[in-house]
Structures are given as structure tokens and as C-alpha cells.
Structure 1
Amino acid sequence: MSVEGKIKEGAGFVKEELNEHGKDAESKKKAQQGRDLRNEGRVEDGKAPKTTPPGSGHPEK
């Protein structure tokens, strides 16, 4: 597990969580950017990327 991957995953998580419940298009876009950053970090650490939409509330498997 790389430190950089953990940082990307953490930063993406925060950005996704802050914006996932917004109703406007800008919030949805920022939530998706957070999800993309989070997945980039997960892939670097050898984990599977999350495939559910941001804010869907699906538990991690």
C-alpha cells in the first residue's frame, strides 16, 4: 500500500462525501471527481474501484 494511494483515496472520500447530497449539477460533478480520485488511489493500492454512483450508500464489499 502506497502512501500516495492512501492520500488520494482519503482526499477523494472527503470530496465525495461533502458533495454527494447536493441537488445541483455542480455538486454531482464534484462528487464524481471525488469518486474518481478515490478510485485512482484504490487502484494504486491494489483494491477494486468503487462502481456504484456517489451517494448511493452501498456498503463496501
Structure 2
Amino acid sequence: MSVKGEIKEGAGYVKEELNEHGKDPESKRKAQEGRDLRNEGRIEDCKSPKTTPPGSGHPEK
């Protein structure tokens, strides 16, 4: 696992969690940016990306 990948995944997680419950389009956009950053970090660490939409509550497989 790379440190850079872990940092990206952690930062993406925080950004996604902070914005996933917002009702406005800006919150949804920021939540998706967080998900994208999180997946980028996961791919760098040879993990599969999350495929469910942000805030869907689906457990990771």
C-alpha cells in the first residue's frame, strides 16, 4: 500500500461523508468528487473501486 494512495482514499472518504446528505446539486457534486478521489486512491493501492453512488449505504463487497 502506498502512502499517497492511503491519503487520497482518506481525504476522499472525508469529503464524501461531509457532503453526501446535502440536498443541493453542489453537495452532490462534492460528494462525487470525494468518491472519485477515494477510488483513485483505492486503485493506486490495488483495491477495487467503489461502484455504488455516494450516500447509498451499500456495504463494501
How would you bin the TM-score normalised by the shorter chain? over 0.9
Q: Which runs of 5+ in 1 are unaligned?
A: none
When the two structures are aligned, how many residues end up with a matched partner?
A: 61
Matched residues in 1 for 2:4 and 2:59: separation?
24
* Matched letter for residue 29 of structure 1: R
Partner of 2:52: 52
Q: Deviations over 1:9-54 (max 9, x none)?
A: 0000000000000000000000000000000000000000000000
Q: 1:3: how far off?
A: 0.2
Matched residues in 2 for 1:60 and 1:4: separation?
22
Q: Following superposition, which runs of at least 4 residues in structure 1 exceed 6 angstroms of deviation?
A: none
Normalised TM-score (structure 1): 0.99
